[in-house]
Amino acid sequence: MLIKRYTQLALGVLLATTLTYCNQPEQNQEASTDTQESHAGHNMQASEGATIIGAQAEPDTLKGSLKAEAHGMIGDAHLTIAYHSPAVRGRQIWGGLVAYNQVWVTGAHTATSLMTDKDITVGGKPLPAGKYALFTIPGEQEWTIIINKNWDQHLADDYAESEDVLRFTVQPEIAPVKQERLRYEIISADGGTGSIQITWDMLRVVIPVSQQ
């Protein structure tokens, strides 16, 4: 009789616990699952044929510009930059291979593209989710950063200022170490902020990015 009473009591507790969980809002029940899976759909690997350019101070004798990608998260936004990465190979880059005060593809061969799956802010200006071209106008003291609608073009051959989505200026920095191959990085910081960093030779440009 005593055993039967304890069994009934245990079943009652189990039923109450189950009902309590089932009566919770659905979002509370799935909170831990959502947290674990919040970035599960984001592929941070380079696509087939592309590479991730790392830090490289030593000279590179390989001819040609490598197909490359950079991936990263700014808040909940997944950013992808697709570009071609040329090497210094002993050449004068700034004011030489890359002319000052002219629109530059900021890579090689085809327009460098920036894709974001969420609305973000770039250089303090809103940028809706989508795919864009990223051009620059390098200067000795100041760079103009350009986000343009036409990402599907050879170099900057079909660039039109009328298709610019946004423009702003930044000051270039001296890189802490030499970077042989042009490198893009997406750097995440706290509070949904971060940056896109472009480094080549002894120069670095930092583009502030945040999630709206």
| pLDDT per residue as tens digits for the range 23-82 | 444 444 343 334 333 444 556 666 667 788 999 998 887 888 999 999 999 999 999 999
Cβ atoms of residues 183 and 57 within 8 Å: no
Q: How many CB atoms lie within 10 A of CB 77?
A: 24
Rounded distance between C-alpha atoms, residue 91 and residue 14, angstroms: 74
The neighbour count for residue 39, using CB atoms within 10 Å, is 11
* pLDDT for the residue numbered 155: 82
Return all residues near 203 (Cβ < 8 A) that are at least 6 apart. Answer: 93, 94, 172, 173, 174, 175
Q: Which two tokens stand for residue 56?
A: 């490289």
Q: What is the mean pLDDT of residues 180-190?
A: 96
What are the beta bridge partners of residue 181?
87
Q: How many CB atoms lie within 10 A of CB 47?
A: 11
What is the average pLDDT across 186-212? 95
Q: What is the pLDDT of residue 26?
A: 43
> Domain-by-domain residue ranges, the chain?
2-35, 44-211
